[in-house]
A and B are shown apart, each in its own frame.
Chain A
């Protein structure tokens, strides 16, 4: 069974640009969540999707947005990139919403210069 796949693995962008990250969950999983990981801040919650509906959003500015498609694949978009957006972005999928094991992808390492 294929794991959670995130693309691309690495990205370098300049300030002011926008970026789209993709996450393909494990087959059969309908829940996808996104996290930003930075040193010292751990895993900060960005979004939570279940069956194409955003169920929750973390405390991030409106420049961060996301969506989930009918095949459960999810994308997140960050517009007007800032240096502070440099981080590892992880997505996790699970069979049920919240109280089941979350399987993480390997992440997308975003560097804003």
Chain B
């Protein structure tokens, strides 16, 4: 089955700096790659997603890149703010076949003011 590896497990950045979180996946058939943010004590919420027919997607300060050949995708957060502090999860799935939405183990991002 699909296996998603996520790095780093913890990340501390100064406010205003950029943060990058990387994930690799094992199943080359996976075609949907969402990122979720979970604030302390809250439920995970989708912040951005990308499909395999797209190499990059941006939404204000957040961007995701996908390299299908290398089977890895990354989350980029620019101009980080204290409210970006949370645990971020990457995930991969295939909308047909036998690949459910499988998550990485998460990255705890701390933005230091």
Q: Counting CB contacts under 8 A, is A110 at the interface?
A: no
Q: Counting CB contacts under 8 A, is A70 at the interface?
A: no
Alpha-carbon gap, A97 to B89, bound state (A): 19
| A-B CB contacts (within 8 Å), total count | 58
B105 in complex: contacting residue of A33, A42, A48, CB < 8 Å = A42
Contact B32 A99 (CB under 8 A): yes
Contact A101 B95 (CB under 8 A): no
B49 in complex: contacting residue of A41, A92, A101, CB < 8 Å = A101
Contact with B along A93-107 (1 / 0, CB 8 A): 000111101101111
Alpha-carbon gap, A42 to B43, bound state (A): 13
Alpha-carbon gap, A56 to B27, bound state (A): 16
Q: Counting CB contacts under 8 A, is A55 at the interface?
A: yes
Q: Counting CB contacts under 8 A, is B99 at the interface?
A: yes
Alpha-carbon gap, A35 to B105, bound state (A): 12
Q: Counting CB contacts under 8 A, is A11 at the interface?
A: no
Alpha-carbon gap, A35 to B43, bound state (A): 12
By secondary structure, the B interface counts as loop
Q: How far is the CB of B53 from chain A (nearest CB, A)?
A: 12
Q: How far is the CB of B39 from chain A (nearest CB, A)?
A: 12
Alpha-carbon gap, A105 to B32, bound state (A): 21
Number of contact residues on A: which range applies?
20 to 34
Contact A43 B89 (CB under 8 A): yes
Alpha-carbon gap, A96 to B51, bound state (A): 15
Residues of B within 8 A of A105 (CB): 43
Alpha-carbon gap, A45 to B1, bound state (A): 11
Q: Counting CB contacts under 8 A, is A26 at the interface?
A: no
Residues of B within 8 A of A59 (CB): 1
Alpha-carbon gap, A106 to B93, bound state (A): 22
Within 35-77 of A, Cβ neighbours of B (below 8 Å) are at 35, 40-45, 48, 55-56, 58-59
Q: Which residues of A contact B (CB under 8 A)?
A: 33, 35, 40-45, 48, 55-56, 58-59, 90, 92, 96-99, 101-102, 104-107
Question: Considering the complex of A and B, which 10 residue pairs feature the smallest CB-CB distances, nearest first?
Answer: A42-B105, A99-B95, A99-B32, A43-B103, A104-B43, A98-B93, A56-B100, A48-B100, A42-B106, A101-B46
